[in-house]
Chain A
Amino acid sequence: MKDRIDFLVSPQLRFYTAAIVIPAFLLIDSLLVKGFMTVFLAGLVIVSGKTIRFLFLILMISTITFFQLLTPRGEVLLVLGPLIIAEESLYAGLLKSFTLLGLIYLSLSSIRKGIRFPGFWGTLFTGMFYYFGLLMEEKSKLRRNDFIKSLDELLTGIYDPDKPNIVIDEDMSFTPSNSYFYPSLMIIIFWGGFLVDLLLL
């Protein structure tokens, strides 16, 4: 699916925007605000052209919450056999789940193809993703019933250490962004949400 917001912001600025809003997201203690943020981030993932795996989402929320419920704290809401569902434990479990999911969605929507980092580390990442891309293009050559042999053939066709594919170049420049609308909006939403949580809730 197509990324519908890549025209708004460069890959680098998108990445740095995520880094700026993460502290605000982590500092939010209100389940309502965090839940809203997580839903917003899920929407951002979809708009970015990626898919949400609902089974993973349900598994994550239920597993983390379940382990919190094993130590009941607060008013008892429900008893299901040996499992006691207490208010504070349930709140803590859901808050942790939303925090984890929100961070995953933020990463998914922020790391885009074409992202470049400056300097030596930027070169390393570019080289690594270059070879990853080459391997992914040939992944159909892998055979489940003969995995080792097919992997060997695939590697032979792609990389010969005596004839390296790419030139290591430390000069990796940034792609300038055309607009600061996206980072401004994200900062307002996340840091605004943090202020709402801090002052009103």
Chain B
Amino acid sequence: MKSLMLRSDKHLQSLLFLAGLSLFLSVMEYLIPKPLPFMRLGIANIPIILALGLFSWREIMLLVLLKVLGQAMVNGTLASYIFLFSLAGTLTSSLVMIISWYFLKRWISAVGISILGAMSSNLMQLLLSIFLVFGKNARYIAPLFLVTGFVSGFIMGLFCNQFIHSSVWYKKFRQSLYEG
């Protein structure tokens, strides 16, 4: 698996760092001011967006799996439905973001990719909530859920865009990985 999925030790190290960064950002999310107090921005997904174009889709999915499992361990939700929601939502959003990156990167920025990712994640989690937890009555929260998904995706995308363009660290990180 190691030889198939990771091109070099530098790639593995950098992937593990992004996974650790994901966990860190999920814990630090409370620092970001939000329009609604219960809203989750999902800044833990920023490393996934940063990884687009630098790692293969298999490596990014490995990052996603590490992120979801790590978050579940840190938050104590590994053995619960919440983990399933997180796994399904994150896998769906990551696949959508990867596909968007490959086919639409000329026309959309991190903002668009983030919105697509957030909306697809919320849609998947909504479907799961209907089948597993709340029943068909969950459809009443669907409009609010999808709107907050759009808003959080937009805000996170703006944040990502700003970080990608202004971060000295990311420029060096990207350059180093391009060099192999």
Contact = CB atoms under 8 A, between A and B. Distances in A.
Contacts of B80: 100, 103-104, 107
A136 interface: yes
B20 A155 contact: no
Interface string B55-68: 00000001000100
B180 to A, nearest CB: 11
B36 to A, nearest CB: 15
A50 B75 CA distance: 11
A100 B82 contact: yes
Contacts of A155: 21, 167, 169-170
A166 B13 contact: yes
Interface residues on B, range: 35 or more
Interface string B74-112: 101111111000000000000000000000000000000
A47 interface: no
A16 interface: no
Interface residues of A, number: 50
Nearest to A157: B169
A159 B10 CA distance: 12
Nearest to A167: B9
A34 interface: no
Contact of A125 (B13, B70, B159): B70
Given A107-B76, A128-B19, A132-B70, A152 B168 contact: yes
B142 interface: no
Interface string B112-135: 000000000000000000000111
Interface of B: 1-2, 9-10, 12-14, 16-17, 19-21, 23-24, 27-28, 31-33, 62, 66, 69-70, 72-74, 76-82, 133-138, 140, 159, 162-163, 166-170, 172-173, 176-177
Which A-B residue pairs are the 4 nearest by beta carbons?
A131-B20, A108-B76, A103-B80, A127-B16
